[in-house]
A and B are shown apart, each in its own frame.
Chain A
Amino acid sequence: MLSQLGDDAKLLAGGQSLIPLMKLRFANPAHLIDLNFIAGTSYIHNANSALRFGPLTRHAEIENSDIPARIPILYDCAAGIADVQVRNRGTIGGSLAEADPSGDWAVVLSTLATQVRCLGKNGERTVHLKDFIQDAYTTALAHDELVSEVVVDIPAKGSGGAYLAFKRAAPVYPTASAAVQLTMDGNVCKDAAIALGCVGLTAIKAKDAEAALRGRPISERTLSAVAEAARAAADPQSDMRGSADYKRTLVGALVRRAITIAVRRARGEHVEVSHLYA
């Protein structure tokens, strides 16, 4: 249908981005292809040490399933997206395909080994998340392709993660967010993945911050160095959510807090966290 209808057609998944855009008349597609009636597109499968998410799996399904208990960072993300109404409609596939610079899933999933399966006329292909999201609102999807599955490798034992955002109100996008997934060996961080949200055109993988954490003991000194590297990696814009300087400072603070929680979780502690709200 996409190839028949051309550029004037839009895919409708959960509709939590597209419908508001249409309401404000920023988007005015001639055709809407509603994916919600396609059976078997909403699921969470656990096989071969990976989680496979159907493209139309709602945030609320992930929030309420038992699997994320094993990957707490997925719960932090799913349970913290906007409000209950949005979570009941919005989908993981839609969020990635929309590639909104403020979207939560891209930030969290870039700290895990994530593949996006793309289905088109010529069959299905698998794209690594870092190659899938190319720019703000731009993905590797061809015009006649859609997301058919999201595959996330389950982190090894001894790994822990956390996702924290500051939001001025529940239904709005974060001012900044930070996702951390790390593996501990005693008090030393063996491996770490750190991603920053809402401080650039896409989720930012803070490589220098990861390097500042990897192989180091968790100490005030390490945390300061990591936060500093995270601030340096951020490239925020001033807007209604906050000034660029503030967002840079905030994202450093969020990374620090997320590391502290991730470390405790890596040690097997059960830690519940909530985003920060005004």
Chain B
Amino acid sequence: MSSSNGKDAKNWVGQALPRKEENRLLRGRGRFSDDIKLREMLYLRFVRSPYAHAKIVGVDTSTAEKLSGVACALTGAEIVSQTQPFIEIGPDPFARIKDYPLAAAKVRYQGEPVAAVVAESAALADDAAELVQVEYEALDPVIDAEEALENQSLLHDEAGTNLVWNGVFEYGDVAKAFKEAAHVVTIDRMHFHRFSSTPLENNVVIARWDPKDERIYYQCNNSFPSFAIQFLAAHLQVHIDRIRVETSDIGGSFGIKITSYPQMAVCALASKKAGGRPVKWVETRSEHLTSSAHGNERIFRETRVALDKNGVITAITSRHIDDCGAYPRYEPLGCVIWSQVFPGVYRFKNARIDFSQAVTNKCPVGPNRGYSRMQHLWFLERIVDVCAHKLGIAPDEMRLRNYVRPEEFPYTTPNGCIYDSGNYPRMLQLAKQKIGWDDWKKKQATARKEGRLIGIGIGTTLDSGTNNFGQSQIVNPGLPYSGNSQGANCKLDIYGEVVVAVGSCPQGQGHETTAAQVVADVLNIHPDMVTVRTGFDTERNVHTGFSGTYASQFAVSGLSAVHGAAQKLKAEMKRLGAFVLETKEADVEFGTGAQGPELIAKSSGKSINYWGLANIVNANSASLPEELYELTLNCRYIWRAPFKVPDKQKKYGNLTMTYASQLHIAVIEVERDTFIPRILDYAAIDDCGTVINPPIVEGQVYGATAHGIGAALMENCVYDAVGNMLTSTFSDYTPITAMNMPHVKYGHISTPSPHSYSGAKGMGEGGAAPVHTISAALQDALFDEGVFIDDSFNNADSLFRALVGKEISQMEKLVKVEKR
């Protein structure tokens, strides 16, 4: 080959290429939304409810509006008169609720915005917000989801119930499996706690409702803009093309920034009221913690597990109650998204899950790294783990007996999902090797004799990526969504530059780099020769209804779109090249010569560089024959996932394209005197199929591991009995930092996906592997003490209450084994 980079063709994918964005981001030269300052910009501050549940008797903004420098104020009542309530995803009766971005009749969680003030400076807006008088009449708050389902106090009168959605997911022959079971294990209650992501950058919105062209211009860090604009257009009653959304660098989202569209609506309406001046809202950390979005909290009730004599699980039944906070918003999608991983990594065929979702007087939930699936995976991991302990089967052996086997892939789950590839036993073997399993087992035995509490735990989990949005129809058969798609554009610009745009909005995932790697391989050039336009912009016209960055899919949907666009461009270039070089297309080769990237005729040795090629189409077209007029060298490609609409009644069908897997092992000691759980050793094995860029994957594994360890041991959104949020600052909600991180022994295997063009699987969420793993390790440490790890959150205080106080997590009360 003629490449000057000295590399073989088709091999940039898989290289540890340094990230293109590093130079900008590490030198503090990134451009984040709050860095943007516009002429005549105003600043918005929300007035928020101190009550969890109250009637709004009156809102008086007059004193605030009289303050010098205040442009205007907005109230819920005003918004109700000007807009339509937000679209509800769920069916009746919850489709009837009225969700506005400012509360009008009542407030439903502490921190809910009831008014907004807009002023010449952020400090003035803060002062003015304090002058807004709101009169409330307190109502009974509902904090617990199970209590909410008793409907004693209703959040949304229009719905007449607090039950958002209920559905039964039943597959196989559950009754028969229980009849034939050798053991039946019953678990009364388990609880997956509410936690969130704490991106370095909070939500930021700049909105300008331009009175000249009646368009709304957003510069913001929403992470799923194509979803946001669909909600905003319907709410603000404008044509969707009148809304432009641009994102720039984003300091993390982890899903949480998907649900910033209510604030986006208020900023636009405020700009309109202020005569079209741009309005900026920068969320404070406490606002973020109390009122952006939290992860879903879930309760698992009356779980029954059937096992054969070898400890192989044959059936599971359970009742799940998901708590979505005060408004369903992105929900009730979470009521079905968990079923992407219905059996987890296990082979059982028979199961019945009765799934309900309830509203409570807490912050609305939103997608949070591992969204909806991690709760379910934790539930399954707890089952496998506690059954192993109860039946006296070694935890590693228990997993091997129950894992889907390597030779069974592609594996169809009981609910019709197709697991593309994987090798869980090999991951287990590698993780055991990394951590020194046998050695730790010996150390553990010695330590136990000394009275020390050391546990070794395994967590095996899935990160399902690239959703089939048809699953939304399981939740609401009337929804017009199915499949999945992503758009990309690849062009040779007038001077021959290769420029790529894609409908994603990266938040640290390195899309500039990986997209360049893919294009470089297609055109046989160096990735430095590929410019990737990063960030979302509706005006680039490369978005579909699903564009954004969420749900572990860029490696599949994003890069497939980029790959498709690059191939389209390559085909055009080849055709044009054959004409210019007076040869056949098959004779044209791609490479890099003295004058940059070029096309060469193998037979004659003649060549033309990219500039020459682009010039013919763009600025020298008189030489172009008419049959080549259709060439634009500006190629837009829409990639579509090959999905079908699932069977809505049977809740059956393939819900996701790829299944990356993670297997972690933790060794934990619970200190006898302080009850502090200490991670003594930690191994994390990842399988995301073909790896596009190893350091980018490894970085995301570390990030997801840190997030999961934080969630398991440190991060918990706590409400008191009347709905006061007790963790509204970083002093109380203590996000994990480097100080709390163990050394992570990282390893990976690669089982290429047959479902994606490159063999890659979406990754990044990590399936909350550390949450499962740490629960299992704590269980192993405390099983002999009669403790059942029934909650996904454990800290020194809760372990003390379980071990010494015996008030919580008592095995005897919660878990029963029946031998047949």
Contact = CB atoms under 8 A, between A and B. Distances in A.
Contacts of B286: 24
Contacts of B130: 25
Given A166-B674, A278-B714, A278-B740, A250 B796 contact: yes
Given A24-B286, A25-B130, A276-B676, A169 B805 contact: no
B681 interface: no
A171 B730 contact: yes
Interface in B707-726: 713-714, 718, 726
A246 B802 CA distance: 11
9 contacts: A172-B732, A173-B731, A175-B796, A241-B797, A246-B796, A250-B674, A252-B673, A257-B673, A276-B674
Contact of B714 (A169, A243, A250, A254): A169
A170 B739 contact: yes
Contacts of A38: none
Interface string B771-804: 0000000000000000000000001110011001
A93 to B, nearest CB: 23
A58 interface: no
A245 interface: yes
Contact of A249 (B730, B737, B800): B800
Contact of B796 (A24, A256, A278): A278
Interface string B106-140: 00000000000000000000100010000000000
Contacts of A171: 730-731
Contacts of B740: 169, 277-278
Nearest to A170: B739
Contacts of A172: 730-732, 734
Contacts of B726: 240
Given A25-B130, A169-B740, A278 B734 contact: yes
B795 A168 contact: yes
A175 B732 CA distance: 11
A252 B796 CA distance: 15
Residue among A169, A243, A254 having the largest count of chain B Cβ atoms under 10 Å: A169
B731 A278 contact: no
Return the 6 tightest CB-CB contacts between A and B, nearest first. A253-B673, A169-B734, A242-B797, A240-B732, A246-B800, A168-B734
Interface string A229-269: 00000000000111101100110111011000000000000
Nearest to B730: A171
A277 B674 CA distance: 11
B440 interface: no
Contacts of B795: 168, 278
Contacts of A166: 674, 676, 796
Nearest to A176: B674
Nearest to B285: A23
Contacts of A242: 796-797, 800
Contact of A253 (B674, B714, B730, B739): B674
Given A169-B739, A278-B795, A245 B714 contact: no
A246 B676 CA distance: 11
A168 B675 CA distance: 13
A119 B800 CA distance: 46
B121 to A, nearest CB: 16
Nearest to A252: B673
B770 interface: no
B727 interface: yes
A172 B713 CA distance: 16
Nearest to A227: B673
A245 B735 CA distance: 24
Given A168-B714, A173-B731, A278-B796, 10 more contacts: A24-B729, A169-B737, A242-B800, A249-B675, A250-B674, A256-B673, A276-B674, A278-B676, A278-B713, A278-B714
A277 B713 CA distance: 11
Interface string B753-775: 00000000000000000000000
Contacts of B718: 240
Contacts of B737: 169-170
Nearest to A256: B673
A137 to B, nearest CB: 17
